[in-house]
Amino acid sequence: MEQRLLQLFPVERRSFWKQTARVQEKVEEIRLRTGQPVLVKRQGQEWYLDDNGTFTDRPERAYRVKAGELEELLQHICHYSLYAFADEVRQGFLTVAGGHRVGIAGQVVLDGDGSVRTIKNVHYMNIRVAHQVKGAADRILPYLYKGEDLKNTLIISPPGCGKTTLLRDLVRQISEGSGGHAGKCVGLVDERSEIAGSYLGQPQNDVGSRTDVLDACPKALGMMMLLRSMAPEVVAVDELGGEDDMKALRMAASCGCRILATIHGEDIRDVSEKLQSGNLLREGLFELFLVLSREGGKPVVKQIYGKEEAYAQMAGRDHDPVGKSGAGTLVSGTVSGQTKAASEIVRHPGDAHQ
């Protein structure tokens, strides 16, 4: 594992990164900016690295990224074949061996139609270190099942609360079979290569033996492709957004697939508009809603809502706009008759990619 992080760097820089690689499990991200100090986020705290690569909290001792260093790093990450990663560069990120994600920024070159042709003069990099937290979904999983069947589930979370980590582990456990339930075929559309962390099409994270991954594919298109080609029992997607995603979800559900999805949002009311746009609200597609949050720096499942409670909350918004009702109405929810009060917050150990 340590080797995987080190392998990101060319040979001349490996001794510098050795200490960081040793504590890789605790490292969340590495930020590199030309002329600026190297910043490493470790267990929620920012550290500098000195000239020897040792952690320090003193900025005056920090090593500053030299001109041309990031260009060289990008060449190395792209196997000295930048052209082969043109699509990834255009998107602004690359997934590398080990499932780590490298975000890049610099000077954007546009095509005539306004689309991004490439990013040149790369002076900023953000390496997000992949951590698979197996067991992150252990306590959540029983809520997802009704008998042998799965409930269509939506995970609602603001950034940094571990929704991708939770989704990844749910996919793995559903695929493998867990808690006495048989494994199911899962079709995973991994548009940003964050869940499976595929590198050259091969998942770097364990997403289960019955999971088929469509990597770097737009969600709506990917869901339709999977439905046609792989006949999944469960379709999993991260970060629902546009109307096309919602339409594809409805299509998947009407084909008898179970849905496992995540969406950006602070709470259940926050996402009601997005769900409204695809008529998902009226049709009541989702049966279970998990709301994630952070408490004491740790990601937690703040609320678990069943279908009726969730849709009642959302419908309430239409008559009672945000700002009048306030968040006080969301202190509890019920799942199959079990009330989950705020004091019964379910912790999950996921704490990595978002």
Partner 1 sequence: MLISEVRYGKATLPEGCRSAGRQAGPPFSVPLQKIYEKMQENTGDAFGDVFCSCMKEAMETMPLTKQDREIFLRFAAKNSFAEEAMQVKWMEQSRDMLDRTILLLEEKMEDKCRIAVGLGAMSGLLLIIILL
Q: What's the min distance (Å) between Cβ of 104 and partner 1?
A: 12
Residue 144, CA distances (Å) to 81, 120, 287 in order: 44, 45, 9
Alpha-carbon distance 257 to 268, whole Å?
23
Residue of the chain from 19, 54, 118, 277 that contacts partner 1 (CB under 8 A): 118
78 binds partner 1 (CB under 8 A): yes
Q: What's the min distance (Å) between Cβ of 41 and partner 1?
A: 24
Q: What's the min distance (Å) between Cβ of 1 and partner 1?
A: 14
Q: What's the min distance (Å) between Cβ of 253 and partner 1?
A: 36
80 binds partner 1 (CB under 8 A): yes
2 binds partner 1 (CB under 8 A): no
Alpha-carbon distance 19 to 24, whole Å?
9
- Looking only at residues 54 through 73 of this chain, which bind partner 1 when binding is defined by CB under 8 A? 71
**Beta-sheet pairing, 211-215 with 116-128:** unpaired
Stretch that binds partner 1, among 2-10, 39-47, 177-185, 264-272 (CB under 8 A): 2-10
Alpha-carbon distance 206 to 195, whole Å?
9
| Sign of the C-alpha dihedral computed for residues 150, 272, 172 and 231 taken in this order | positive
CA torsion 185-191-192-193 (nearest 10°) is: 30
H-helix or E-strand containing 248?
Answer: helix 243-254
Q: Nearer Cβ to partner 1, position 47 or 93? A: 93
Residue of the chain from 5, 9, 239, 311 that contacts partner 1 (CB under 8 A): 9
Residue type, 242: G
Q: What's the min distance (Å) between Cβ of 256 and partner 1?
A: 37
Q: What's the min distance (Å) between Cβ of 83 and partner 1?
A: 4
41 binds partner 1 (CB under 8 A): no
Residue of the chain from 61, 66, 120, 282 that contacts partner 1 (CB under 8 A): 120
Instruction: Of 308, 175, 279, give the one whose Cα is nearest residue 232.
Output: 175
Start-to-end C-alpha separation, the chain: 21
- Looking only at residues 82 through 111 of this chain, which bind partner 1 when binding is defined by CB under 8 A? 82-84, 86, 89, 97
Stretch that binds partner 1, among 51-59, 79-87, 213-221, 310-318 (CB under 8 A): 79-87
Cβ–Cβ under 8 Å, residues 151 and 288: yes
> How long is the chain?
354
> Per-residue contact track with partner 1, 236 to 275, x per CB under 8 A?
----------------------------------------
Cβ–Cβ under 8 Å, residues 260 and 208: no
Q: Nearer Cβ to partner 1, position 202 or 339? A: 202
Q: Nearer Cβ to partner 1, position 4 or 192? A: 4
Tokens 């990099």 found at: 125
Residue 71, CA distances (Å) to 65, 211, 231 in order: 11, 36, 43
Residue of the chain from 35, 60, 67, 81 that contacts partner 1 (CB under 8 A): 81
Give the number of other Cβ atoms within 10 Å of residue 126's Cβ.
18
Stretch that binds partner 1, among 11-19, 273-281, 316-324, 327-335 (CB under 8 A): 11-19
CA 322 to chain centre: 27
Q: Nearer Cβ to partner 1, position 7 or 277? A: 7
Backbone φ/ψ region at 145: left (φ over 0), alpha (ψ -120 to 50), beta = beta
Q: Nearer Cβ to partner 1, position 16 or 145? A: 16
Which positions lie near partner 1, rule CB under 8 A? 7, 9-14, 71, 75-76, 78-84, 86, 89, 97, 118, 120
